[in-house]
């Protein structure tokens, strides 16, 4: 996979990545502020309870008496006291003054302070004992006076103003693009890692070739498409193909999701579009990949999803940036969506998305190639035939096939196997297609009804099948929402539906209902899903495919594909008389196949009973068992039961367990609870 670019880049203020860490510069500033506060605190003259205030004469006398040691005080000139004014501070020994000292601390030093004018004689005397501090300038006095205020202002700045600026940058970052710049990596995906969509790879690889060698196309007047739109059902590999483009291209690759343009603030989406193209222009030539573009590219106005001013504004900005007066050469847009029907027509025209690449569900060869790619990381046994697995998975997307192998590995691990076997993949396929087995408690009556219902499906299909849709497995173990399942394995991908096969499909669908009626003499609600399926098929035959006497006419307007792979209801554009004819023809088709299924089951009643009894006994039988019952009247192939293997214990553990068990047997004797027999005489 592609990863973010490793080269150091300048951090954008509006970056939405990780929060900004505490920088060493800020830490140094805080240390300076704290140090200055501590220095000011200690620089202030002491004003404790032991401070003695002396007059100048008392100070001179204390110096003469030796109560002040040399270097124990400081003399500082003070012009505010007049000519010769001086402030003297320091410590003195055992002064004869009234201070609050305990008896134990009589000899302790106390602080003193004296202010006044010294004569020249006293000045020379005091200077010999005390240190003289130079007279400070007016600038120094002002600086010292205002230094605390400066420190407080600086503190407020870093605490409040800086935070406000950061908040302002965060608010303005809403308009910044969230596109992530990707670059090649040693583990990046390439076109070799994408299988099952060779045509799409060729379309996209031309863009990569143009970026690598533009002169190859320019010498004959060709120009690269400005946009490539990849569309297809979910799981077919659209995003994977874009990641492969990022791994193959030697140009900057920006990746963004369509939902990243939408925010709670008005105008943010348009601003992010402009910023995204601005980044692309700075790094041109480059590729910008927009995943799920239908989030912002929906049709404007009262179309699907209704109108939305913010989304339309974002779309308009995208349209202008892609092909406006200010066109951007070298910025190629690759978008992916599974909703091409809801995209705006202005977005799909040439000049914006010049090339539209459809990535459909893979065919047989495509599924085989996809399985080979994903099987590289799975431990498969030698018996696994991936071509057979591909044949058994029609309609599976690339994501489904990857999930199939992963589920097979999980099932094999559950059974304590060292490698994935073929039956593990079969069980994984059934789990994905029909749901996980549910050991739902059913009484004998429900199990019997379910057994005959599924046997009816399997028997009818085995009789009417033309070899293209044989029975794969029949089970009465509940899966998903059904109490039982009959699974088929097509021999090839069915691209077209013939009338004969559709009628056989309807007949098979009514087989379960017919079996209930024949055996039980009653019908249940278990055939509700079958009834919906056959009715839908019959309606398609009448209204869409023109396979009835009503002629090759499409009844109903063109049906809107609200989602790729699903069909929504079309509007009624025919008369009531025609509607009655349609309903009658649909009824006749279903009723005829219902009667046909009853005839088939009555003709093979013995096989029906045998198959139902086998299901009640074994719960699951394979397609070959169905054919054997129909041909020979009994099952001749064995039923393979899956048993969870016990993990092999370590040798040391086995020895210890054997020894402990032997000792326990010696102590207790027979484990059956009876006394151990006495040893027989020799």
pLDDT digits (tens, 9 = 90+) for 52-80: 777 878 877 887 777 777 767 777 777 66
**Can you say how many angstroms the Cα of residue 653 is from the centroid of all Cα atoms in its chain?**
43
Q: CA 361, CA 399: separation in Å to the nearest integer? A: 10
- The one-character DSSP state at 573 is -
Which of these, 276, 394, 375, lies nearest to 335 by C-alpha position? 276
pLDDT of residue 184: 56
| More confident call, 79 vs 509 | 509
pLDDT range class, residue 580, cuts 50, 70, 90: very high
Q: Which helix (H) or strand (E) holds 37?
A: helix 24-43
pLDDT of residue 440: 66
Q: CA 175, CA 163: separation in Å to the nearest integer? A: 20
Is-contact 34 220, C-beta < 8 A?
Answer: no
Portion of the chain with pLDDT greater than 70, in percent:
72
What six digits make up the tokens of 469?
A: 């849709």
Residue with token string 């977005």: 347
Q: Averaged over 162-191, what is the pLDDT? A: 57
User: What does pLDDT average to over the chain?
Assistant: 76
What six digits make up the tokens of 626?
A: 């169905």
Whether 34 shows a pLDDT value over 90: the answer reads no
Which of these, 124, 121, 126, lies nearest to 70 by C-alpha position? 126
pLDDT range class, residue 436, cuts 50, 70, 90: confident
Q: CA 183, CA 5: separation in Å to the nearest integer? A: 5
Active-site residue, from 248, 454, 517, 628: 454
Q: Averaged over 199-210, what is the pLDDT? A: 83
Asked which of 31-35, 111-115, 372-376, 656-660 is least confident by mean pLDDT, the reply is 656-660
Q: CA 453, CA 484: separation in Å to the nearest integer? A: 8
Q: CA 235, CA 432: separation in Å to the nearest integer? A: 14
pLDDT of residue 672: 35
pLDDT of residue 50: 62
Q: Is 455 helix (H, G, I), strand (E, B) or coil?
A: helix
Residue with token string 């003259």: 45
Q: CA 459, CA 83: separation in Å to the nearest integer? A: 127
Is-contact 260 296, C-beta < 8 A?
Answer: no
Q: Find the radius of gyration of the CA atoms of the chain.
A: 45
Which residues fall within 8 angstroms of residue 428, CB to CB, at 6 or more apart?
A: 404, 405, 407, 408, 410, 411
Encode pLDDT of 322-351 as tens digits: 876 555 567 888 899 988 888 888 888 888
Whether 112 shows a pLDDT value over 50: the answer reads yes
Encode pLDDT of 77-102 as tens digits: 776 676 767 777 877 776 555 544 44
Which of these, 459, 461, 469, lies nearest to 489 by C-alpha position? 469
pLDDT range class, residue 405, cuts 50, 70, 90: very high
pLDDT of residue 102: 47
213 backbone dihedrals φ, ψ, rounded to 5°: -140, 80
Q: Which helix (H) or strand (E) holds 86?
A: strand 85-93
Which residues fall within 8 angstroms of residue 644, CB to CB, at 6 or more apart?
A: 414, 415, 416
pLDDT of residue 310: 74
What six digits make up the tokens of 650?
A: 């370590």
Tell me the longest C-alpha to C-alpha distance in the chain: 144
Q: CA 165, CA 435: separation in Å to the nearest integer? A: 56
Beta bridge partners, 183, equal 3
Is-contact 381 255, C-beta < 8 A?
Answer: no
Quick check: is 206 catalytic?
no
What six digits make up the tokens of 587?
A: 């009824």
Judge if pTM exceeds 0.75: no
pLDDT of residue 518: 93
pLDDT of residue 670: 37
Q: Is 269 helix (H, G, I), strand (E, B) or coil?
A: helix
pLDDT range class, residue 283, cuts 50, 70, 90: confident
């Amino acid at each position: 996979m592609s990863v973010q670019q490793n080269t150091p880049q300048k951090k954008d203020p509006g970056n939405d990545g990780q929060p900004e860490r505490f920088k060493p510069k800020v830490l140094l500033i805080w240390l300076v502020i704290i140090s200055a506060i501590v220095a000011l605190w200690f620089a202030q003259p002491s004003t404790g309870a032991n401070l003695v205030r002396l007059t100048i004469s008392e100070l001179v006398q204390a110096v003469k008496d030796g109560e002040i040691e040399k270097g124990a005080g400081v003399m500082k000139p003070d012009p505010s006291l007049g000519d010769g004014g001086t402030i003297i501070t320091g410590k003195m020994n055992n002064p004869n003054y009234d201070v609050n000292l305990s008896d134990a601390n009589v000899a302790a030093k106390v602080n003193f302070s004296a202010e006044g004018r010294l004569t020249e004689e006293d000045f020379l005397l005091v200077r010999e004992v005390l240190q003289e501090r130079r007279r400070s300038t007016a600038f120094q006095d002002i600086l010292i006076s205002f230094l605390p205020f400066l420190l407080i202002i600086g503190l407020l700045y870093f605490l409040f103003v800086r935070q406000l600026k950061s908040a302002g940058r965060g608010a303005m970052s809403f308009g910044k693009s969230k596109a992530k710049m990707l670059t090649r990596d040693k583990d990046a995906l390439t076109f070799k890692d994408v299988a099952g969509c060779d045509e799409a790879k060729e379309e996209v690889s031309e863009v990569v070739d143009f970026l690598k060698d533009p002169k190859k196309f320019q010498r004959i007047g060709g120009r690269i498409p400005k946009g490539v739109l990849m569309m297809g059902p979910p799981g077919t590999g659209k995003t994977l193909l874009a990641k492969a483009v990022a791994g193959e291209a030697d140009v900057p690759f920006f990746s963004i999701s369509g939902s990243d343009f939408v925010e709670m603030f008005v105008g943010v989406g348009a601003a992010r579009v402009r910023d995204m193209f601005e980044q692309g222009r700075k790094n041109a030539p480059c590729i910008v990949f927009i995943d799920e573009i239908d989030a912002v590219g929906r049709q404007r106005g009262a179309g699907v999803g209704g109108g939305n001013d913010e989304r339309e504004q974002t779309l308009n900005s995208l349209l202008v940036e892609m092909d406006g007066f200010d066109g951007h050469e070298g910025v190629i847009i690759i978008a992916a969506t599974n909703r091409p029907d809801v995209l705006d027509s202005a977005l799909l025209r040439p000049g914006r998305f010049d090339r539209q690449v459809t990535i459909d569900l893979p065919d047989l060869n495509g599924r085989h190639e996809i399985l080979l790619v994903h099987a590289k990381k799975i431990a498969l046994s030698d018996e696994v035939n991936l071509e057979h697995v591909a044949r058994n998975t029609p309609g599976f997307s690339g994501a489904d096939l990857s999930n199939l192998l992963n589920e097979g590995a999980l099932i094999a691990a559950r059974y304590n196997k060292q490698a994935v076997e073929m039956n593990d993949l079969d069980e994984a396929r059934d789990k994905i297609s029909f749901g996980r087995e549910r050991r739902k408690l059913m009484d004998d009556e429900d199990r019997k009804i379910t057994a005959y219902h599924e046997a009816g499906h399997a028997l009818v299909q085995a009789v009417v099948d033309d070899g293209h849709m044989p029975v794969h497995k029949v089970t009465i173990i509940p899966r998903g929402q059904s109490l039982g399942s009959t699974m088929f394995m097509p021999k090839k991908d069915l691209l077209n539906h013939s009338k004969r096969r559709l009628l056989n499909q309807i007949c098979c669908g009514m087989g379960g209902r017919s079996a209930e009626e024949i055996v039980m003499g009653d019908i249940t609600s278990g055939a509700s899903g079958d009834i919906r399926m056959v009715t839908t098929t019959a309606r398609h035959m009448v209204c869409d495919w023109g396979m009835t006497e009503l002629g090759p006419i499409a009844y109903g307007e063109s049906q809107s594909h609200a989602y790729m792979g699903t069909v929504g209801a079309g509007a009624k554009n025919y008369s009531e008389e025609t509607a009655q004819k349609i309903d009658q023809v649909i009824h006749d088709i279903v009723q005829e196949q219902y009667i046909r299924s009853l005839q088939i089951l009555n003709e093979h009643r013995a096989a029906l009973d045998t198959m139902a009894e086998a299901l009640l006994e074994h719960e699951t039988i394979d397609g070959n068992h169905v054919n054997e019952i129909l041909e020979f009247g009994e099952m001749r192939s064995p039923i393979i039961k899956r048993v969870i293997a016990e993990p092999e214990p370590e040798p040391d553990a086995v020895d210890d367990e054997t020894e402990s068990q032997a000792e326990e047997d010696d102590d207790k004797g027979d484990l059956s609870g009876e006394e151990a027999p006495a040893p027989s005489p020799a």
